[in-house]
Amino acid sequence: MRLLVGTGFKMNLTSSEARRYFDAFVPLVASLTACDLFVLPPFTSIWVARERLSGSNVAWGAQDVHPEDGGAHTGDISAAMLSDLGCTYVEVGHSERRRDHGETDASVAAKVAQILRHQMTPIVCVGEPSRGLVAALDFVLSQVRTVCELVRGPERGRVIFAYEPVWAIGIGAMPADPSHVGAMHSGIHELLLSKAGGGHDSRVIYGGSVDVSSARPLLDEHGVDGLFVGRAALDPHQLAAIAAVADRVAASSPG
């Protein structure tokens, strides 16, 4: 599986700021060919991403979607709307949305099904709430399992899981130790390949205070298939530098 590196802007960057960001970012990563890249701007800037990123090696997408096709859901966005804007990836289940909007594993799984139905790729965020949680892997696997129970067959292999421990996200937080990340990713892959997980592996990427210095140690861990970069990526030069690390790792990997 090709390494995947990207970011979600959260509630940052106006359309004008996003335009300047993309114009700076694209030339910095134009020569990278061994990994896949993506950005998830706010809804208001997805059209800018389509305008500025079309024809480049950077895909774009959204940070959420509604689980239904349409109707009386004021302020929400449907999968059809995102697909029409050329979105490739759609993030769902981020811990901030679970916290602020009361999203559950079941509602996240329903969104995953909708994203797949519209031929886009879901990035499902999973992660334990506190550092040192004894049952951390069990907690995360329960989140993954809910998606696997709803999405069956080869299509489940299209789902990307982003392991993001909640305690490693935010200002002042530190990334999880690479050995912990490797163990969690190995556990997720094991479930995905099992009968309970549908028997189809897929990419599992890590997010949580990733920066240039932590990128290589994280990517060297078995089962880490990419990086979901947070606040460091608000600087296009920082995201490009992390992408370059991933590109070198991918290019040097056998097969």
CB 147 within 8 A of CB 116: no
Side-chain-facing half-sphere of 191: CA atoms under 13 Å: 22
**Predicted confidence (pLDDT) at residue 254 exceeds the cutoff of 90:** no
Angle between helices 136-150 and 178-193 in degrees, nearest 10: 30
Of 117, 123, 119, the C-alpha closest to 6 is 123
Number of neighbouring beta carbons within 10 Å of residue 238: 17
The answer to whether residue 73 is catalytic is no
Q: Which residues of 205-225 are buried (b: 16+ CB within 10 A; e: fewer)?
A: bbbbbbbbebbeebbebebbb
- pLDDT score, position 77: 98
Terminal Cα-to-Cα distance of the chain (whole angstroms): 10
Nearest-angstrom CA–CA distance, 166 and 146: 19
Q: Give 85-111 pLDDT, tens digit per residue.
A: 999 999 999 999 999 999 999 999 999
Residue percentage of the chain with pLDDT more than 90: 91
* Catalytic residue (one of 164, 180, 189, 221): 164
- pLDDT score, position 133: 83
DSSP H helices, the chain, are 15-29, 46-53, 79-84, 95-101, 105-117, 136-150, 178-193, 212-219, 236-252
- pLDDT score, position 255: 60
Q: Using alpha carbons only, what angle is made at residue 59 by residues 167 and 203, rounded to the nearest 5 degrees? A: 50
Hey, what amino acid is at 151?
V
Q: In terms of DSSP bridges, do strands 204-207 and 3-8 run parallel, antiparallel, or are they unpaired? A: unpaired
Domains of the chain plus CATH, in order, are: 3-252 (3.20.20.70)
Q: In terms of DSSP bridges, do strands 3-8 and 121-126 run parallel, antiparallel, or are they unpaired? A: unpaired
The answer to whether residue 164 is catalytic is yes
Residue percentage of the chain with pLDDT more than 70: 100
* Catalytic residue (one of 94, 180, 185, 189): 94
pLDDT band at 223 (very low <50, low <70, confident <90, very high): very high
Q: Which two tokens stand for residue 215?
A: 């990128």
pLDDT band at 36 (very low <50, low <70, confident <90, very high): very high
**Predicted confidence (pLDDT) at residue 161 exceeds the cutoff of 80:** yes
Q: How far is CA 103 from CA 92, 98, 119, 180, 229, in A?
A: 10, 4, 23, 26, 22
Indicate yes or no: pTM above 0.95: yes
